[in-house]
Structure 1
Amino acid sequence: MTALQKVEAPETAVANYSASLIDVIARAASDPAVDIDKMERLIALQQQVSAREAELAFNQAMNAAQAEMRPISANASNPQTKSRYATFDKLDRALRPIYTAHGFSLSFDEGDSPKPEHVRVLCYVAHTAGHTRTYHRDMPADGKGAKGGDVMTKTHAAGAAGSYGARYLLKGIWNVAVGAEDDDGNLGPRREAPKTIGEKDIDDIETIMTSNNIPIADLLKVAKVADVAEIRADRLTSVKNWIDRQVKARGIQ
């Protein structure tokens, strides 16, 4: 091969081969002498090539989407691990406009986990070219707290596991980093932000409100926040009392 010869990119080579194969199938279909078995093998081969084309387009779009994504600042705290994290809502607001612009869509589901008392959270990442990739995460759903005691019902635990799993998957699929919350841009000492409720409290609140058909927007209005994760820790008791009143008002025990 000389220096002037060009090497086809993999996606170009596959596309050219696919086009040639379609021509072969078209000619074979018009030839009455071609037997059915050969025709079926040609069609199966074309399907494999088409699937490869779709996967290449998926990978290219994944690369382009991730190139546009930036680290996301944390907006909530986990008091048990003394760490900061980004809520699902914040991740979704930052990532959805980018990945949909590149032809991706996400859908979540649950499957059987090989681990006892776990929920397998599934995420199907589909691309407009026709390729779909499945990601999963096995989350504990035994209702136990950090110290091993029962802290929630099995139903509640399954709901919390789904919420945790979806957030972990959303972050992992796009390989985004979550960093510390940005301050006001000053170079001086950071001001300590008011302590917010932890991850478990966020999931508890969202699960209870969803299962009882209480609009999240009503709570946000009462708590004067834009997101559940922004509820201050010193207001947690009053928020829970408000939720209890809403549940009782709906006649749900």
Structure 2
Amino acid sequence: MNDLAVREDNHQLADTGQQQTGNAIISVIERAATNPDVDINKMERLLDMQERIMERNAKSAFSAAMAQLQGELPTISEKGEIKVNGQVRSKYARFEDINEAVRPVMQKFGFAISFRVKTGDSHICVTGVLVHREGHSEETTIDLPADITGSKNTVQSVGSSVSYGKRYVLQALLNITTSGEDDDGNAGGAYPNDKAQAEINAHLNYAALVRDHFPTIAAIKSALADEDFSSAAEAMSEISKVEQERLWKAPSKGGIFTTEERKQMKSDEFGAAMREFLDREAE
């Protein structure tokens, strides 16, 4: 049996064990609910435990499904063209093409995407929310200046920035990278201004970094969901210190690790596990 098969079997065994534990807790709660003498405080603790188990199982299912989805994402054709004086200036993958190409794969593995848009005085905030059927979700946000290039009115400016935002948060969440990207001036926006382009490039660079290390990141997330700090530390050590720092980005700014995962990685338990692993490697 090869390494991949062993890892898949181990993951299936872990999922089965987590499901059995969750079912056992549910049975205890059901029996306790029919007992008029049950201690309310104990009942609350049981309910809290069940909630934590469900959250952990949902995170593990999300990570496993994402790893499978990554292997089946298609290459997106760059069908959009930006022309200046009749000459093609650059090409880009249109949002509708990206969405159409990835939707069947997302549905296959139980994912759905939605967007939230907030507008300020001079900027547009677009958040993409990736939800898995087991209940766990992750999100990333891009904050863009309103696109006031050309002769756009207010409505066109908002529409142009939303178009940018939806495209780039979708790419970031699914780790899709395309080249020669720019908004189509005829379909909702000319070239982004310098500040907007810098922020877009930063998000794309981060998405590329996540894509390059995604199997390791998925292993870290799965281990953290199980509170297996030793395995999480070992997986983290596969990423260089420089790239660890680049990945350490707040989830509110599009970071791959959730607030809870970041809290776990800053904990004394994780630090001790990392030191123990490094000591073993040094021997």
TM over 0.5: yes
1:250 aligned partner: none
Task: Give CA deviations for 1:198-237 in whole Å, capped at 9, x if unaligned.
Answer: 62222149xxxxxxxxxxxxxxxxxxxxxxxxxxxxxxxx
Q: Give the Cα separation in 2 of the matches to 1:178 and 1:158.
A: 24
Letter in structure 2 aligned against 1:92: N
Give the Cα–Cα distance (whole angstroms) in 1 for the partners of residues 117 and 108 of structure 2: 26
- Equivalents in 2 of 1:204, 1:93: separation in Å? 21
In structure 2, what is the Cα distance between the partners aligned to 1:179 and 1:161? 19
Aligned to 1:102: 109
Correspondence 1:1-253 to 2 at 5 A: 9-78=13-82, 82-111=89-118, 117-141=122-146, 143=148, 145=149, 151-178=151-178, 199-204=184-189
Separation of aligned partners in 2, 1:7 and 1:142? 50
TM-score w.r.t. the length of structure 2 is 0.55
TM normalised by structure 1 equals: 0.61
Q: Which has the higher helix share?
A: 2
Structure 2 residue identity aligned to 1:203: G
* 2:269 aligned residue: none
TM-aligned CA deviation for residue 141 of structure 1: 0.7
Distance 1:198 1:132 in 2: 28
Q: CA RMSD in A?
A: 2.9
**Alignment partners' CA distance in 1, 2:117 and 2:49:** 33
Task: Output the CA distance in 1 between the equivalents of 2:165 and 2:10.
Answer: 43
Name which one, 1 or 2, has greater alpha-carbon Rg.
Answer: 1
1:78, 1:52 → 2: CA distance?
Answer: 46
Distance in 2 (alpha carbons) for counterparts of 1:51 and 1:166: 27
Query: Over residues 83-119 of structure 1, what are the superposed CA-to-partner deviations in whole Å (9 max), with x where a residue is unaligned?
Result: 3211011111211111112221222221367xx6221
Q: Report the alpha carbon displacement of residue 134 of structure 1 after superposing the two structures with TM.
A: 2.3
Matched pairs, number: 177
Q: How far off its partner does 1:157 sit?
A: 1.0
1:69 and 1:142 map into 2 onto residues whose CA distance is: 31
**Alpha-carbon spacing, 1:179–1:111, altered in 2? closer, same or farther (3 Å):** closer
CA contact (8 A) 1:72 1:179 kept: no
* Equivalent position amino acid for 1:131 in 2: H
For residues 144 and 187 of structure 2, the distance between their equivalents in structure 1, rounded to whole angstroms, comes to 17
SS in 2 for 1:60: helix
